[in-house]
A and B are shown apart, each in its own frame.
Chain A
Amino acid sequence: MIIILQIILFILTAPLLSGLITKIKNNLRMRKGQSIIQPYYNLAKLFSKDEVISETSSWIFRVAPFVVLSSTLVAAILIPVFIFAAPAYQIGDFLVLVFIFALGRFFLALSALDTASSFGGMGASREMFISSLVEPALCMVIFAISLHFGSTDISSFSGMHAITVSSVVSAIALFLIVIAETSRIPIDNQETHLELTMVHEAMVLEYSGRSLALIEVASYVKQMIFFFLIAQLIFPIGLPLGNFTQMFLWIIWCITRIVIIAITVALVEVSLAKMRLFRVADFLGFAFVLGVIATVCAILGV
C-alpha cells in the first residue's frame, strides 16, 4: 500500500519540481517565466496528441518508454520517503539503484539508434559516454556513504544522523553526478534542440505524444530520486515524529530541503555555460576525486 502511495506521490510531485526549477531559472534571468505547473499542462497535451512512430524502428522503440518508466519507478520505491525504511527495501540496496538506472538508459539509447536518425545515434553515443563516466564516480560516492554509515542500505542514512565532512563531501560529489544524470547545464541542456549540444534530447527526438510523456515523467521522477538522496545526506531529518504538529513540521522540512536543492540547481544552471563534451571527463573526474576524498574522510571518521 505504502509502495503504491509512494509511486503516486513521486509521479504527482516530480513534474512540479521541474516546473519550479524552470521558474526560478527564468526569474533569475529577469524573465516572467512559465507557470510552475506548466509540466502538467505539457504532459496532458502530450497524452492527447497523436503519436508518430518511425517506420524504420522495431519493437525496441515501442517498448523502451515502458522500460524506462518502470525502471525509474522501481528505483523510486527503493528510496525511503515517508518512513525511515524504504517501502520495498527488501528488494535492493543503494548499489541496485545504479544498475536499475542503467537498465532504463540502455533501452533509451537503443531506441535512439533504432530510428536510423543520426541525431538518435549521436545522443545515444554521448549519453552512454557520459553515463559510463558517471558510474565510477557514483560508485565511489556510494562507497564513501556506505563506509560512513556502515551499510549499503539506503535507509541507513535516511534517519537522524550528524552532518560530517564525509557526508557533506559525498553530497557535493552526488550533486555533480546529479547534474550529469539529469542532463543539466554544464553537462547537457534540457532546453536546447541544437544538434551540437543536445544529449538527452537527441536521444528522445523521435518520440512524440504519449510515449514522450512517459519518458518525461521518468526523467522527472529520476531527478526527484536524486534530490531526495542528496537531501537525506546533507539535511538529515532532525525532528522527532511524536504528535501532529511535529508531523506537520517534518513535512514542511522535507519540502524545504528539496526546494533548497532545486534553487541551487537553478543557480548553477543560470551561472554556468555548457561544457564541451570532452570536458565532461574532467568534470566527472572531479566528482570521482571528491568521492575519494569523502572515502578518506569516512575512513578517518570525520
Chain B
Amino acid sequence: MLNLLTKNLFLFDPLSLFFLSVIFVVSLPSLIYSFSYLKGEYSAAKITLAQILLLAFVLSMAFVVSVNNCLIFLIFWEIMSLVSYLLVIFDTKHARSVQAGLIYIVMTHTGTAFIIAAFMILHNNAHSFDFFAIKSACQTMPYQTKNIVFLLFLIGFGTKAGIVPLHIWLPYAHPQAPSHISSIMSGVMIKTAIYGIIRFVIFILGVNSSWWGILVLILAVISCLVGVIYALMEHDIKRLLAYHSVENIGIILLGVGLAMFFTSLGLPYLAVFSLIAGLYHLINHAIFKGLLFLCAGSVYKATGTRDIEKLGGLIKKMPQTAAYFLLGAMAISALPPLNGFVSEWLTLQAFFLGAFNVIGGNKLFLGICAAMLALTSGLAAACFVKVFGVTFLAKPRSHYAESAKEVALPMRIGMLILAVLIVIFGLAAVPIIRLLAKVSGSSLGIDISSMSFSLNNLTVTPQIVKDIYLSTPSLALWFALLGIAGFAIYRIFGRGRRVVYKTWDCGYYKIDSRNEYTATAFSKPFRIAFSFFLLPYRKTQKIRESFYHIKSFSYETYTTKVFKKYIYDPVLAIVFKIAKSMRRIQPGSIHLYLGYIFITLLLLIIFMGQL
C-alpha cells in the first residue's frame, strides 16, 4: 500500500482534464445555489453537514476521474457512492428518501461488484493495478477474456450511468436528494460511469470486435426511448428530469458506441468524430440538466410541491427562473442555436457520415439508430413543451402556485451561470469541437493532426466525401435578423390596436384554471400510442349516495413499470426466498452458533494441515 502512494498516482491526460472541467462547471454554480436553497429548509447543523458532504462528493468525483490506479479508483468510486447515498437520504423525514437510498445503494453496489470482478481479471493478467501496465498487458490478452471484461465493465458502469434496464434506481434517487445535489448527481455523477467506459473499455482494453459497439448502440437506443417515454408519463418535475437523464445518457452512449463501432471497423477518424459528438453531448447535458434541476429546485422552494399538475402561471411570479428553465428546456429539446442542438446534430451527423463509409446492412442499422435518435428528440421536445407549459404558463392551478415568489439572488446567480454556458456552448461550437478533438483523439490513441475543423465547414479528412456545414453563430444571427424584420413589419404595416381581453370561453361566463389542459391530458396521445410498452390501466371509484345517484367519481390512470414488474420484482422474490430458507440455519440458539464456530475452526485446521 505504501508502495502505491510513493508512485505517481495521478493522471492528467486530456480525458481526465475534460471530466474534471465537467465536474467543476456544474458543481460551482450548484454550490452558489445551495447557500440560499438550504437556508430555511434545514437546521444550521444540517446545512453545515450538507456542505461538507457536497465538498466530499465533488472531491471524490474529481479523484475518480484523475487517479492512475484501479485500486485507488475503486476507493474513490466507493466514497463517491457512499457520500451520494448520504445525500439521497438527506431528507430523513421522508420515508421515500430512505427507500430511494436503499434502492440506490443496492444497485450501485451491484454495479461496483461487477467493476471489481473486471479489475480482478485485469490484475490477474497484468499483475498490476496501474492503468498503463494494464493497458500494455491488454494488448496480449486473449480474445475471450477481453469480451468478459467488457461485459463486466458494461454492466458495472452501466448501472451507475443508468442504462436501461439498469436505470431503476435513477428516478428514485435523483429526485430525493436536495435539488443542487440532484443537479450534480444527474449532471456529473452518472457521467463518471461514462468516464469509466471510455477509460477502461476504449482507452485501456481497446475495442477489437464490432459487436461491442453494436451492443452499446442498441442499449443506448433503448435507453433513449425508454427514458423519454417514461419522462412523458411523469408529472413529478424532478423525477421527470431524472428520466431525461436516462434518455441523455443514451444519446451520449450513441456517440461512444459509434466510436467503438468505427474503431473496430478500422475507421479511426470517424471514431474520433463520434466520440467528439458523445463528449460534446456529455458536457452539454451536464450544463442543461444541471440548470433544469436547479430551476426545478427553485420551483419546489417557491411552491412547496414538485407535482406539475398543481403548478401553473409561474412565469409571472418567477420570471427569471422561468426564463432559465425555458432556455434549459430548449437546449435539451435540441433547438437551434443552443448547445443541445449542436451535439445532437453532431451525433446524427456521425451516423450519416458513418453510413457513407460502412457497407451493406450496417448502413441500414446506422440509419435506423439515427431515426430512433430523431424520435427521441421529438418526444423530448413534446415532454418539455408539457413541463414548461404546465408549470410556468397559463393560470395557477393551486394555491401553491398562486403564492409563489421569485427565489433569492444566490440561487438565481447559480442558474444564470449555467444559462450563459448553454448559450456559449451553442454559439462557440467550433473552438469547443477543436478542444474535444484532442480529448477524443488521445482517448482513442489516434493522431488527429490531419483533421481540420474550420469555422462552419466541418471537414474530417480523409474519410468524408463532402463537406458538411453548420454555423450556429450565423444561424443565431439570421434568427435575430429575421425576427427583428418580422417585428418591424408587424409595427409598420399593422394598423390595428392590441387589446388585452380574456381568453375565448365558448360563450360560457367564466373559465378558470380547471379548464386548462393538464399534463396527464397532454401526454394522453403518447400514453395510447405507446400503450404496448406502458401498459396503462385505470382505477375508477364511484361514491354513491344511493343506487341511482353517484355523488362523486374518482378516476386515476397508471402505467405499469415494465422493468420493475417483470425483471426486478421476480429477482427480488427469489432473493427473499433464499433469505427465508437461510433463516433456518440461524435460529438464535447460542449453542448452535458455538457449534458453527467449532466446525469452522475444525475445517480450517484440516485445510491448513493439507497446505
Write the residues of chain A forming the contact surface with B, with a CB cutoff of 8 angstroms.
7, 47-60, 65-67, 69-71, 73-74, 77, 88-93, 95-96, 98-100, 102-103, 105-106, 109-110, 113-118, 120-122, 124-126, 128-129, 131-140, 143-144, 146-147, 150-153, 156, 205-206, 209-211, 214, 277-278, 281, 288, 291-292, 295-296, 299
Cα A210 to Cα B489 in complex, Å, equals 9
Q: List 8 A-B contacts (CB under 8 A).
A: A52-B501, A57-B503, A60-B315, A69-B486, A70-B482, A125-B517, A129-B526, A214-B486
Known contacts: A66-B487, A153-B469, A288-B371. The answer to whether A95 contacts B516 by CB under 8 A is: no
Instruction: Tell me, rounded to whole Å, the shortest Cβ–Cβ distance linking B312 to chain A.
Output: 8
Other contacts beyond A66-B486, A209-B494, A210-B494: 16, CB < 8 A: A48-B496, A49-B496, A51-B496, A58-B316, A70-B481, A70-B483, A93-B469, A102-B335, A116-B513, A121-B517, A124-B385, A125-B521, A132-B375, A132-B379, A140-B367, A143-B352
> Which residues of B have CB within 8 Å of A210?
490, 493-494, 496
Q: Quick check: A99 and B345 within 8 Å, CB to CB?
A: yes
Q: Residue B364 contacts which of A92, A128, A214, A299 (CB distance < 8 angstroms)?
A: A299
Q: Quick check: A50 and B482 within 8 Å, CB to CB?
A: no
> Which residues of B have CB within 8 Å of A117?
503-505, 511, 515-516
Instruction: Tell me, rounded to whole Å, the shortest Cβ–Cβ distance linking B179 to chain A.
Output: 24
Q: Quick check: B504 and A110 within 8 Å, CB to CB?
A: no
Q: Quick check: B517 and A124 within 8 Å, CB to CB?
A: yes
Q: Which residue in chain A gives the minimum CB-CB distance to B389?
A: A113
Q: Quick check: A114 and B394 within 8 Å, CB to CB?
A: yes
Cα A247 to Cα B374 in complex, Å, equals 39
Output the residue of B393, B470, B474, B489 with the most chain A CB within 10 A.
Answer: B393
Q: Quick check: B499 and A50 within 8 Å, CB to CB?
A: yes
Q: Is B471 an interface residue (CB 8 A)?
A: yes
Cα A265 to Cα B276 in complex, Å, equals 42
> Which residues of A have CB within 8 Å of B373?
139
Give the segment of B34-42, B153-161, B355-363 that binds chain A.
Answer: B355-363
Per-position 1/0 for B456-486, Cβ under 8 A of A: 1100000001111111001100111111011
Cα A133 to Cα B516 in complex, Å, equals 25
Known contacts: A99-B334, A110-B388, A139-B348. The answer to whether A74 contacts B482 by CB under 8 A is: yes
Q: Is B592 an interface residue (CB 8 A)?
A: no
Cα A69 to Cα B485 in complex, Å, equals 10
Q: Is B263 an interface residue (CB 8 A)?
A: no
Output the residue of A143, A152, A210 with the most chain B CB within 10 A.
Answer: A143
Q: Is B333 an interface residue (CB 8 A)?
A: yes
Instruction: Tell me, rounded to whole Å, the shortest Cβ–Cβ distance linking B325 to chain A.
Output: 12
Known contacts: A91-B469, A143-B367, A152-B352. The answer to whether A118 contacts B486 by CB under 8 A is: no
Instruction: Tell me, rounded to whole Å, the shortest Cβ–Cβ distance linking A162 to chain B.
Output: 18
> Which residues of B have CB within 8 Å of A143?
351-352, 355, 367, 370-371
Q: Residue A206 contacts which of B467, B494, B503 (CB distance < 8 angstroms)?
A: B503
> Which residues of A have CB within 8 Å of B480?
70
Known contacts: A66-B490, A129-B526. The answer to whether A295 contacts B367 by CB under 8 A is: yes
Cα A97 to Cα B213 in complex, Å, equals 29
Cα A200 to Cα B326 in complex, Å, equals 22
Q: Is B330 an interface residue (CB 8 A)?
A: yes
Q: Quick check: B348 and A95 within 8 Å, CB to CB?
A: yes
> Which residues of B have CB within 8 Å of A153?
466-469
Q: Is the interface of B mostly helix, strand, loop or mixed?
A: helix
Q: Quick check: A48 and B495 within 8 Å, CB to CB?
A: yes
Instruction: Tell me, rounded to whole Å, the shortest Cβ–Cβ distance linking B376 to chain A.
Output: 9
Q: Quick check: A53 and B500 within 8 Å, CB to CB?
A: yes
Q: Is B377 an interface residue (CB 8 A)?
A: yes
Q: Quick check: B478 and A140 within 8 Å, CB to CB?
A: no
Q: Which residue in chain A gives the minimum CB-CB distance to B473?
A: A91
Q: Quick check: B496 and A131 within 8 Å, CB to CB?
A: no
Known contacts: A110-B393, A281-B529. The answer to whether A136 contacts B378 by CB under 8 A is: yes
Q: Quick check: B378 and A151 within 8 Å, CB to CB?
A: no
Cα A23 to Cα B288 in complex, Å, equals 48
Cα A91 to Cα B429 in complex, Å, equals 13
> Which residues of B have CB within 8 Å of A50?
496-499
Q: Quick check: B367 and A53 within 8 Å, CB to CB?
A: no
Q: Quick check: A96 and B494 within 8 Å, CB to CB?
A: no
Contacts of B497-531 to chain A: CB distance below 8 A: 497-505, 511, 513, 515-518, 521-526, 528-529
Q: Quick check: A118 and B515 within 8 Å, CB to CB?
A: yes
Q: Quick check: A92 and B363 within 8 Å, CB to CB?
A: no
Q: Quick check: B345 and A135 within 8 Å, CB to CB?
A: no
Instruction: Tell me, rounded to whole Å, the shortest Cβ–Cβ distance linking B319 to chain A.
Output: 8
Instruction: Tell me, rounded to whole Å, the shortest Cβ–Cβ distance linking A247 to chain B.
Output: 28
Cα A55 to Cα B499 in complex, Å, equals 9
> Which residues of A have CB within 8 Å of B344?
99
Q: Quick check: A47 and B494 within 8 Å, CB to CB?
A: yes
> Which residues of A have CB within 8 Å of B490?
65-66, 210-211, 214
Q: Residue A92 contacts which of B475, B500, B501 (CB distance < 8 angstroms)?
A: B475
Q: Quick check: B524 and A58 within 8 Å, CB to CB?
A: no
> Which residues of B have CB within 8 Å of A140?
367-368, 370-371
Q: Quick check: B336 and A115 within 8 Å, CB to CB?
A: no
Instruction: Tell me, rounded to whole Å, the shortest Cβ–Cβ distance linking A212 to chain B.
Output: 11
Cα A75 to Cα B105 in complex, Å, equals 49
Closest 10 CB pairs of A and B: A121-B517, A113-B389, A132-B378, A139-B374, A135-B378, A128-B382, A116-B394, A70-B482, A151-B466, A70-B483
Q: Is B71 an interface residue (CB 8 A)?
A: no
Q: Which residue in chain B gives the minimum CB-CB distance to A67?
A: B483
